[in-house]
């Protein structure tokens, strides 16, 4: 097992993993998403707990996603926090951890779920709201 002590080593480890991908689609599951998708509180990995806001994405994952794009891989990133999805440079970013998960609809309490289907090289994402 590779030892990672700081962000540069983490980025290097992720790059080595991306370089080993032999399929057309790369699915990355992470706690937090990559840096570079906005620095406002309402952005998918924007900082919403400080007055000065900021980009709260991870720089090591930003490097890995850039390598995947360079290699022509269709990348899908699934990570928690903030907005439920966004697309940037043909990369799909999905947040399966919407807060609140249970919320009021117009006539009922709703529960949030996301359905991600990978079919060949295509990724299809659908938000599903289930009534309580």
DSSP labels for 28-59? EEESS-BS-S-SSTTSTTB--SSTT--B-SBH
Give CA separation, 22 vs 17, 19, 26, 101, in Å. Answer: 11, 8, 9, 35
- Of the pLDDT bands very low, low, confident and very high (cuts 50, 70, 90), residue 1 is low
Q: Does 26 map to a domain?
A: yes
pLDDT of residue 101: 75
Residue 13 lies in a domain: yes
Indicate whether 112 belongs to any domain: no
Residue with tokens 């990355």: 28
Higher per-residue confidence, 121 vs 70? 70
* Residue 111, in any domain of the structure: no
Contact 79, 68 (CB under 8 A): no
Q: What is the overall mean pLDDT for the chain?
A: 89
- Please compute the mean of the pLDDT values over residues 96-108 and round it to a whole number: 79
The total number of structural domains that make up the chain:
1
Strand partners, 45: none
* pLDDT, average across residues 48-56: 92
By percentage, how much of the chain surpasses pLDDT 70? Answer: 98
Is 2 contained in some domain?
no
Per the domain annotation, does 27 fall within a domain?
A: yes
Instruction: Report the predicted TM-score, pTM, of the whole model to 2 decimal places.
Output: 0.81
- Identify the pLDDT of residue 33: 93
Q: Please report which confidence band the pLDDT of residue 28 belongs to, taking 50, 70 and 90 as the band edges.
A: very high
41 in any annotated domain: yes
Closest of 112, 110, 106 to residue 80, by C-alpha: 112
CB 78, CB 66: distance < 8 Å: no
Among 10-14, 24-28, 41-45, 109-113, the least confident range:
109-113
Burial of 112 (0-12, 13-18, 19+ CB in 10 A): middle
Domain containing residue 23 = 7-95
Mean pLDDT, to the nearest integer, of 100-112?
A: 81
Would 78 be classed as within a structural domain? yes
């Amino acid at each position: 097992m590779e030892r990672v002590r700081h962000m540069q080593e983490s980025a290097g480890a992720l790059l080595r993993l991306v370089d080993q991908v032999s399929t057309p689609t790369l699915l990355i599951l992470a706690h937090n998403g990559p840096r570079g998708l906005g620095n406002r509180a309402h952005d998918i990995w924007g900082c919403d707990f400080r007055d000065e806001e900021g980009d709260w994405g991870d720089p090591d994952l930003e490097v890995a996603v850039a390598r995947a794009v360079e290699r022509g891989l269709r990348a899908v990133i699934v990570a928690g926090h903030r907005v439920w999805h966004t697309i940037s440079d043909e990369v799909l970013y999905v947040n399966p951890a919407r807060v609140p998960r249970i919320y009021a609809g117009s006539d009922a309490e709703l529960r949030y779920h996301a359905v991600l289907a990978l079919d060949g090289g295509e990724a299809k994402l659908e938000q599903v709201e289930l009534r309580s």
